[in-house]
Amino acid sequence: MRTDEFDFALPERLIAQHPPELRGASRLLYAHDGALENCRFADLLRLVRQDDVLVLNDTRVIKARLFGSKDSGGKIEVLVERVLNEHEVLAQVRASKSPKAGSRLVLASAGSLRSSGEPTGVPLAGADVLAVEVLGREGEFFRLRFAGEEPVLALLERHGSLPLPPYITHAADAGDEQRYQTVFARAAGAVAAPTAGLHFDEAMLQALRDKGVRIAYVTLHVGAGTFQPVRAEYIREHAMHSECYEIPQTTVDAIARARNAGGRVIAVGTTSLRALESAAQSGELQAGTGETRIFITPGYRFRVVDRLLTNFHLPRSTLLMLVCAFGGMDEMLAAYRHAVANEYRFFSYGDAMLIERKNV
């Protein structure tokens, strides 16, 4: 299939720059049986039933963006992609010239930098700075080691800033630090939020439990590659980014109980779906940890998930391809045209869509 088959026209005004005032105050487009139903997110409560299981991704977004300079003086921006251990990370490094193995970086909080209206710059005198050694390249990323005894996650929390998606034009503020994080976030490690989960507040989760819906969790640490458009002419030529995931045994058991009771498996977000389907490549869902480069495109046979709750995705993206695989290509492209015509809000802070899996 050609990548341009997954393109669509999206007016810039429909790209949500801020979340709704309250969690759950979004719209919900329900796609089922060839029909499209305009709903509110609160309607999810009537669209699920007792013994369904809702699977949430409990990853937590880290403050992965850092600014500073090379020891030679050039300005840099660092975006941590993955924390490898207590002191080392894989990261993108933006600089006029790529740093070499053995070179050192000096990083600081954005507010501790001297700059001319830019977030990058040289740390001010007396600023609390981070000394970082460049260990080398690993593909498109740099392996960096943070000096000192303090764990890197603690350093990022103190010095870093929230890495909002590239289509959000404002710098992250205190409001984003709260709202670009799910209420059930637990396992630190993502550089992008599992955005379908942003709609839920504690009241909605409790109302679902009260109805008899099981709540289960997976962890998939979302990488920055989730925002990358597919640039290859044919989708088979695209190299998928890698992400790590964990499926607890309690989640495998919850899904088995739901199946035995006639319930459905509802993945909240493409990340939850990718984790579940990755862990079921043998034919049965297996608990444990792993790395996945799963690339779900039309023709894929789903093994676990029956319904998908997701936001609206970028044109020509792997996530739109996944949605088309799940709900049917013609049906989903028609749903996206409907969403544009009805001015749904798109992307991370936008509205949601509940999709019934198309049986093929």
Name which of 280, 241, 238, 221 is nearest 83 in CA terms.
221
166 belongs to a structural domain: no
Question: What's the mean pLDDT in 318-330?
Answer: 97
Select from 114, 136, 161 the last residue of a domain.
161
Dihedral sign for Cα 85, 92, 16, 356, please: negative
Is the pTM value of this prediction over 0.75? yes
Name the pairing type of β-strands 288-292 and 352-356.
unpaired
Q: What is the CATH number of the domain that holds 214?
A: 3.40.1780.10
> How many helices and strands in the chain, by DSSP H and E?
8, 19
Q: What is the CATH number of the domain that holds 116?
A: 2.40.10
- Does position 167 have pLDDT exceeding 50, yes or no? yes
At which residue do the structure tokens 């700075």 appear?
A: 129
172 belongs to a structural domain: no
171 belongs to a structural domain: no
CA 201 to chain centre: 18
Name which of 311, 3, 22, 324 is nearest 167 in CA terms.
311
| DSSP SS3 for 115 | coil
Residues 116, 183: one domain? no
- Does position 233 have pLDDT exceeding 90, yes or no? yes
Concatenate the DSSP letters of all residues of 53-86 into one string. Answer: EEEEE-EEE---EEEEEETTS-EEEEEEEEE-SS
169 belongs to a structural domain: no
pLDDT value at residue 224: 86
Residues 208, 249: one domain? yes
Structural domain count, the chain: 2
167 belongs to a structural domain: no
- Does position 360 have pLDDT exceeding 70, yes or no? no
Residues 122, 15: one domain? no
pLDDT value at residue 340: 98
Percent of the chain with pLDDT over 90: 88
pLDDT value at residue 116: 39
Residues 270, 140: one domain? no
Select from 161, 195, 221 the last residue of a domain.
161
Select from 161, 185, 213 the last residue of a domain.
161
- Does position 141 have pLDDT exceeding 90, yes or no? yes
| DSSP SS3 for 213 | coil
**Residue 73 pLDDT grade (very low, low, confident, very high; cuts 50, 70, 90):** confident
Residues 288, 346: one domain? yes
Radius of gyration of the CA atoms of the chain, in A: 21
- Does position 359 have pLDDT exceeding 90, yes or no? no
Residues 201, 88: one domain? no
Residues 212, 336: one domain? yes
- Does position 217 have pLDDT exceeding 80, yes or no? yes
Residues 305, 183: one domain? yes
168 belongs to a structural domain: no
Where is 179: in which H helix or E strand?
helix 174-179
- Does position 347 have pLDDT exceeding 80, yes or no? yes
Strand locations in the chain (E): 27-32, 35-40, 53-57, 59-61, 65-70, 75-83, 88-95, 104-108, 113-114, 122-123, 129-138, 141-146, 187-190, 214-220, 243-247, 265-268, 288-292, 307-311, 352-356
Alpha helix positions (H), 279-328: 318-327
pLDDT, tens only, 19-40: 999 999 999 999 999 999 999 9
Residues 189, 262: one domain? yes
Give the chain's mean pLDDT: 93
Report how far apart, in Å, the C-alpha atoms of 285 and of each of 72, 164, 261, 281 are.
51, 33, 17, 8
Residues 244, 340: one domain? yes
Residues 6+ apart with CB under 8 A from 216: 53, 54, 55, 56, 250, 251, 254, 255
Q: Cβ distance 182 to 56 under 8 Å? A: yes
170 belongs to a structural domain: no
pLDDT value at residue 343: 98
Q: How far apart are CA 189 and CA 139, in angstroms?
A: 20
The two structure tokens encoding residue 194: 């599992």
Q: How far apart are CA 206 and CA 186, in angstroms?
A: 18
Question: What's the mean pLDDT in 288-301?
Answer: 96
Percent of the chain with pLDDT over 70: 95
Residues 291, 196: one domain? yes
pLDDT value at residue 74: 85
Range of the domain at 87: 65-161
150 belongs to a structural domain: yes
Residues 21-32 as b/e (b if ≥16 CB within 10 A, e otherwise) read eebbebbbbbbb
What amino acid is encoded at 290 in this protein?
G
Neighbours of 289 (CB within 10 A): 11
- Does position 125 have pLDDT exceeding 50, yes or no? no
**Residue 112 pLDDT grade (very low, low, confident, very high; cuts 50, 70, 90):** low
Q: Cβ distance 6 to 316 under 8 Å? A: yes
Residues 225, 288: one domain? yes
